[in-house]
Amino acid sequence: MRGNCEVHELIAPGRLRGVLELLAAEPGVWTPIAGGTEIMVAHAAGRLNLPKLVSLWGIGELRFINVNADSVAIGAGATFIDVRRHAELAESLPLLAKASSWIGSIANQSRATLGGNLVNGSPAADSSPALLVYDAEIELISVRGSRRIPYCEFHTGYKSNVLAKDELVYALHMQRRFARHKQYLRKVGTRRAMAISKVALAGTALVDSGVVSEIRVAAASLAAYPARLYKTEAAVLGKPITPETIAAAREALMGEAAPIDDIRSTAEYRKRVGANLVEEFLLELGREAAQP
């Protein structure tokens, strides 16, 4: 244990209002800590340079899953176990439940929160690809009120996002409109459990009258932050699934992906596997569309 617990202040206002007022009163001073599955690792490694922390754990106003007829709202404080256990959510947005089950292990899932996963902003964030292909909106909150933006606009660079100094992530919103969509998610990690993603690909798509009428493709670890692959989508949108469109999608992905070499994997591998995964997605899409 290389961190010194005595040099960190940690307070728990216990209510959302208390936290927001603190962030407004002293912007940039207090760092929110939810489940702690990232911050506490840095703490143990002696790399936690955050003297003041405010706990979001146990704030009921952040930990909710609301499902109504056509939309879902997931509070930023919802843990991944919460997501997995919510039957209706798992049924209407299965990629999220799948992604949740691939985060760390059960012990991590019971503490890691959706908000924490997004704000931590790792390019390998497990929940992000699914959120992106579900057209999620992210709701940010402060004493000044709340605002919703498309989640795909949340990340702006490596570990940077649009959160103002006094803002928290409040919730993720998605439409329940994917029942007919082909849905795809695959994570490639170092092993089957407790693996940081080397590359992950998510996809949702509709085929109507033999052509792709709607498509979203998003990836982790193919850029500085989890992102939609717009050129890859464009290569397929409005076209039938053929070897040519698949090849075009592969080429588009290899062109727009910008992964790096790091301790876990290589850029070349990530690009190539990304292309293989989009091919697998499209092949499945094509096969299922061809069925009567």
Partner 1 sequence: MSATAKTRIVGASVPRKEGIDKLVGRAVYVDDIEREGMWYGTTVRSTIPRGRIRSITCDPRIDWSEFTVVTAANVPGKNHIQLIVADQPCLADGAVNHCDEPIVLLAHADKHKLREAAAAVRIEYEPLPAVLSIEESERQDPIIWGDDNVFKSFLLEKGNVDGVWAQAAHIVEGEYRTGAQEHLYIENNGMIAEWSANDGLTVWGSLQCPYYVHKTLKAVFDLPDEKVRVIQTETGGAFGGKEDYPSTLASHAGLLAMKSGHTIKMVYDRMEDLAATTKRHPSRIRHRTALDKDGKLLAMEIDLATDGGAYSTLSSTVLSRATLHSCGPYVCPNIRVRSRAWATNMVPYGAFRGFGAPQAIFATERHMDEIAAQIGIDPVELRRRNFLHQGDQNATEQLMREPVMLDELLDRALAQSDYYARRERFTRENANSPVKRGLGLATFYHGSGFTGSGELYLNSLAGIDVTADNKVRVMVSNTEFGQGTNTILTQIAAEALGLAFSDISMAPPDTAVIPNSGPTVASRTSMVVGRLIQRASLQLLETLRNDGGLGANASRDEFFAACDRYRTAHGEVKSLCRYEAPPGIFWDDKTYHGEAYGAYAWAVYVAQVAVDTRDYSAEVEEFWTVQEVGRVLHPVMAKGQIEGGVAQGIGYALYERVVWQNGRMANNQMTNYIMPTAADVPPIHVIFEEIPFKFGGYGAKGIGELPHDGPAPAILNAIRDATGVSFNSIPLLPEDIFAVLAAREIQEEPAIK
Partner 2 sequence: MSECFPSITMRVNGESCTVNVPPMKRLLDVLREDLHLTGAKEGCGEGECGSCSVRLDGELVNSCLIPVLQAQGAEIQTVEGLAANGVLHPLQECFLACGGAQCGICTPGMLMAAAQLLERNPNPSMAEIREGLAGNLCRCTGFMRIFESVLAAATQMQSPEADKAGHAR
10 φ/ψ angles, rounded to the nearest 5 degrees: -135, 120
DSSP-H helix ranges across the chain: 16-25, 39-44, 80-85, 87-92, 94-101, 106-109, 114-120, 128-133, 230-234, 243-256, 267-290
Contacted by 12, from partner 2, partner 1, none: CB < 5 to 8 Å by type? partner 2
- Least separation in angstroms between residue 196's CB and partner 1 is 7
Q: Which is nearer to partner 1, 126 or 166 (CB)?
A: 126
3 state DSSP class of 292: coil
Which of partner 2, partner 1, none is residue 94 near (CB under 5 to 8 Å by kind)? none
CB of 217 to partner 2, least distance (A): 28
Of 125 and 136, which has the nearer Cβ to partner 1? 125
Structure tokens at 57: 């754990």
Separation between Cα atoms, residue 217 and residue 174, nearest integer Å: 16
- Positions touching partner 1 (CB under 8 A) are 1-2, 4, 6, 41, 44-46, 105, 188, 190-196, 198, 243-244, 247, 263-266, 268-269, 272-273, 276-277, 279-280
The answer to whether 170 and 189 have CB atoms below 8 angstroms apart is no
Token match 């911050």: residue?
39
Counting every residue, how long is the chain?
292
Q: Which is nearer to partner 2, 66 or 105 (CB)?
A: 105
9 binds, among partner 1, partner 2, none (CB under 5 to 8 A by kind): partner 2
- Kindly tell me which of 71 and 101 has the beta carbon lying closer to partner 2: 101
Nearer to partner 1, 87 or 290 (CB): 290
**Smallest distance from partner 2 to CB 60, Å:** 13
Contacted by 87, from partner 1, partner 2, none: CB < 5 to 8 Å by type:
none
Interacting residues with partner 2 (CB under 8 A): 1, 3, 5-6, 8-12, 33, 35-37, 40-41, 43-45, 53, 55, 57-58, 81, 101, 104-108, 110-111, 192-194
**Backbone angles phi and psi of 46, in degrees to 5:** 75, 20
Q: Closest separation between CB of residue 61 and partner 1, Å?
A: 32
Cβ 11 to partner 2, closest distance in Å?
Answer: 7
Q: DSSP of 4-46, one letter per residue?
A: -GGG-EEE---SHHHHHHHHHHSTTTPEEESS-TTHHHHHHTT
* Residue 67, strand partner residues: 72
| Complex with partner 1: residue 147 or 239, whichever CB lies closer | 239
How far, in Å, CA of 177 to CA of 158, rounded? 31
